């Protein structure tokens, strides 16, 4: 009887040992399976470029938002005149152009004749918004929209990847030109001989109007005006008492040059919307 009990006890012990081994194998299998699942999850950095770009494209937007924030605080690349600040926001080719323009002598007109972030000489900004970036590999575009004196505007930032960061490669304006084009055209104009000025009572030559410039050339009964920024010509006609007015624009308004005397050296430019700018004959 005792022997039968011992055999039963031994059998029970063996059964428990076998069950214990079975549990151990099951735990090991779960651990292996868990590692397999974790390994099967792709690392973003190892996925194709398109997936990586989608995961990091938002980094382009904070750069633009910060650029405007600093600019509105009278800081940033167009205010501080520090190369490190320029390089923070702009890709090297454009950064070089901006930095070269910033080295001009004090008081000398450069390539930028308006606020480069708002494309205007006067600003009253409302409804400002930085849009979502559209990424295409190592390039991206970010649109900034706002209202300035009731006029809706959209400025497009062309971005380029610089390592793990985004930098601004160009800025496209509503008029069809870009910041890079403005610098290139300025360099070309600076290399050309200066337009002849006429200090003896002729409305011709180069004039400074506000923060921009224009070149005036008599053309039969009119005066052809070419602005430093933009394409095409605008024609003005003698009105009276040292005043020259343009053709009507789409709204029926006219621009006017109103000079102080018959030598046409100084005066006021009255835009069709009523805004005024100082006019002076530029030195040859």
How many helices, marked H, and strands, marked E, lie in the chain? 6, 13
Please write the tens of the pLDDT for every residue from 212-224.
889 999 988 899 9
- Burial letters for 164-179: b for 16+ Cβ neighbours within 10 Å, e otherwise? eebbbbbbbbeeebbb
Q: Which residues contact 254 (CB under 8 A, 6 or more apart)?
A: 245, 246, 247, 248, 272
127-170 pLDDT tens trace: 999 999 999 999 999 999 999 999 999 999 999 999 889 999 99
Distance between terminal CA atoms of the chain? 128
Return the higher-pLDDT residue of 284 and 21: 284
**Is the pTM of the predicted complex or chain greater than 0.75?**
no
At residue 35, φ and ψ (nearest 5 deg) are -65, -35
What whole-number distance in Å separates Cα of residue 201 and Cα of residue 95?
42
State the Cα–Cα distance between residues 154 and 67, nearest whole angstrom. 16
Q: Whole-number mean pLDDT of the chain?
A: 78
pLDDT confidence of residue 109: 66
What separation in angstroms does the CA of 44 have from each of 6, 41, 47, 56, 247?
A: 62, 9, 5, 10, 59
d(CA 173, CA 181): 11
d(CA 17, CA 196): 107
108 token code pair = 């000398």
Asked if 145 contacts 151 with a C-beta cutoff of 8 angstroms, the reply is: no
233 vs 198, more confident: 233
Give the C-alpha separation, 196 to 284, whole Å. Answer: 6
Token pair listed for 253: 């308004």
User: Mean pLDDT: which of 36-40, 69-73, 219-223 is highest?
Assistant: 69-73
| Percent of the chain residues topping a pLDDT of 90 | 49
Contact present, 98 and 90 (Cβ < 8 Å): yes
pLDDT given at position 216: 93
Higher pLDDT, 174 or 7: 174
Locate 60 and state its tokens: 């382009």
What contacts 25, CB < 8 A, 6 or more positions away?
A: none
């Amino acid at each position: 009887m005792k022997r039968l009990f011992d055999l039963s006890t031994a059998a029970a012990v063996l059964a428990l040992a076998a069950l214990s081994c079975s549990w151990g194998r099951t735990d090991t299998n779960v651990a292996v399976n868990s590692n397999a699942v974790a390994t099967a999850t792709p690392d973003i950095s190892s996925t194709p470029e398109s997936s990586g770009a989608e995961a990091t494209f938002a980094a382009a937007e904070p750069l633009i938002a910060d650029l405007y924030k600093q600019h509105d605080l009278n800081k940033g690349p167009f205010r501080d005149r520090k190369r490190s600040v320029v390089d923070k926001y702009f890709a090297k080719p454009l950064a070089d152009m901006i930095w070269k323009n910033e080295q001009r002598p004090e008081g000398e007109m450069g390539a930028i004749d308006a606020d480069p972030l708002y494309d205007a000489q006067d600003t009253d900004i409302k409804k400002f918004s930085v849009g979502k970036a559209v990424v295409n590999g190592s390039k991206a575009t970010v649109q900034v929209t706002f209202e300035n004196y009731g006029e809706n505007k959209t400025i497009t930032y062309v971005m380029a990847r610089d390592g793990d960061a985004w930098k601004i490669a160009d800025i496209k304006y509503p008029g069809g030109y870009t910041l890079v084009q403005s610098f290139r055209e300025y360099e070309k104009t600076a290399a050309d001989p200066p337009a002849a000025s006429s200090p003896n009572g002729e409305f011709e030559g180069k004039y400074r109007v506000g923060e921009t410039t224009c070149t005036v050339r008599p053309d039969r009964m009119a005066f052809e005006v070419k602005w430093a920024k933009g394409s095409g010509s605008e024609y003005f006609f003698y009105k009276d008492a040292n005043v020259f007015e343009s053709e009507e624009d789409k709204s029926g308004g006219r621009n006017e040059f109103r000079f102080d005397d018959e030598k046409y050296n100084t005066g006021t430019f009255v835009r069709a919307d009523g805004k005024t700018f100082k006019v002076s004959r530029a030195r040859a």
